[in-house]
Structure 1
Amino acid sequence: MPATPRFSLPLLAMAQAQKEVTHNEALTLLDALVHAVIEAGPQADPPATPVEGCCWLVGPDATAAWAGKEDAVAIWTSGGWRFVLPRAAMRVSRLADGASLRFDGESWIEPPSIAGAAGGSTIDSEARSVLAALILLLEAHGLLISG
């Protein structure tokens, strides 16, 4: 079946019967991938009671229905699991903590953890408040997780 080059979305073929099946499959994948949000992950085990339309990142040593699908975005649909292999620079947001994860071509990278300003012999309260505000803004955008 012909597919798009980036995410292997199914394409309609000339004189294809039941075009709605192919079209609906592509819409299901697009619904999950545009502004992708994951429930959790990377994790090895599929959730016990997934909700239709929700996504997870498949981690190393995946089990059960996820076996052999490491690093994929797992999407639960009315027809079961759908898997999309990530491309380099793909990003997803994790609902659990708001982190913005990025696929570097080999694995999913979580944002670095940054602690607040501390220490030093000269204490500059204005500089520390600016740093704290900057860290809060970066956390709000999902670019950092404070430690």
Structure 2
Amino acid sequence: MTETTSRLVLPLLQTAQAQKEITHNEALVLLDALVHASAESADLAAPPAAPTPGQTWLVAAPATGEWAGRADALAVFTTGGWRFIAPVEGLALWLADRALPAVYRDGAWVIGSLAATGLEIDGHQVIGARQGAIADPDGGTTVDAECRAALATLLAALRTHGLIET
């Protein structure tokens, strides 16, 4: 029988184990940090001076002190000291100091960036995949300078927002 879960490495109770409450409580502490995860900050490389139980940080590199060797891990302060949770692909949390989401993707924390195939508002897709480039207005026998200026402004805004190629 294994001693931890496969994905989040939570401790498992063992057959005939004495003091099972210790293992059980450790698993609950780690689950408490992971369910609806939130971190105070991702900018500290050393433990804060006066953490309170339940506070969590994303450990910045280069980690020092009690956090040495734990860069990118979640550091959870408990009444029993620091607990560390190694990130797994897709782990998501809220960064309180930045009011932004963070997702562990491709071996690194991606902060404030969301990946999607589209954006729907009230059931209607308003943004989808990026479209190809649209040329600036050119040519024609009748030139309307105001119309061209309006179209050029609209195209510039779409390019700036990344909705069409440049």
Q: Same fold (TM over 0.5)?
A: yes
The aligned counterpart of 1:36 is 37
Rg: which structure is higher? 2
User: Per-residue displacement from partner, 1:123-143 (whole Å, max 9, x unpaired)?
Assistant: 67xx9xxx9xxxxxxxxxxxx
User: Per-residue displacement from partner, 1:90-129 (whole Å, max 9, x unpaired)?
Assistant: 11101112200011132111124xxxxxxxx4267xx9xx
**2:27 partner SS:** helix
User: Per-residue displacement from partner, 1:41-79 (whole Å, max 9, x unpaired)?
Assistant: 142121111110010000111010000001100000000
**2:102 partner SS:** strand
2:32 and 2:10 mapped to 1: Cα distance? 12
Runs of 4+ in 1 over 3 A off after TM superposition: none
The aligned counterpart of 1:73 is 74
Check the 8 A contact 2:41/2:98 in 1, yes or no: no
- What does 1:41-60 align with in structure 2 at a 5 Å threshold? 41-60=42-61
Q: How much is the aligned-residue C-alpha RMSD, in angstroms?
A: 2.1
Identical columns (%): 45
2:106 and 2:76 mapped to 1: Cα distance? 20
Unaligned runs of 5+ in 2: 114-148, 162-166
**1:32 partner SS:** helix
- What does 1:1-147 align with in structure 2 at a 5 Å threshold? 2-112=3-113, 121-122=149-150
Higher relative contact order (CA 8 A, sep 6+): 1
**1:46 partner SS:** coil
1:23 and 1:94 mapped to 2: Cα distance? 28
Count of matched residue pairs: 120
1:10 and 1:105 mapped to 2: Cα distance? 26
Check the 8 A contact 1:87/1:105 in 2, yes or no: no
1:87 and 1:71 mapped to 2: Cα distance? 10
Q: Report the TM-score, using the length of structure 1 for normalisation.
A: 0.75
1:47 and 1:61 mapped to 2: Cα distance? 15
Unaligned runs of 5+ in 1: 113-120, 132-147
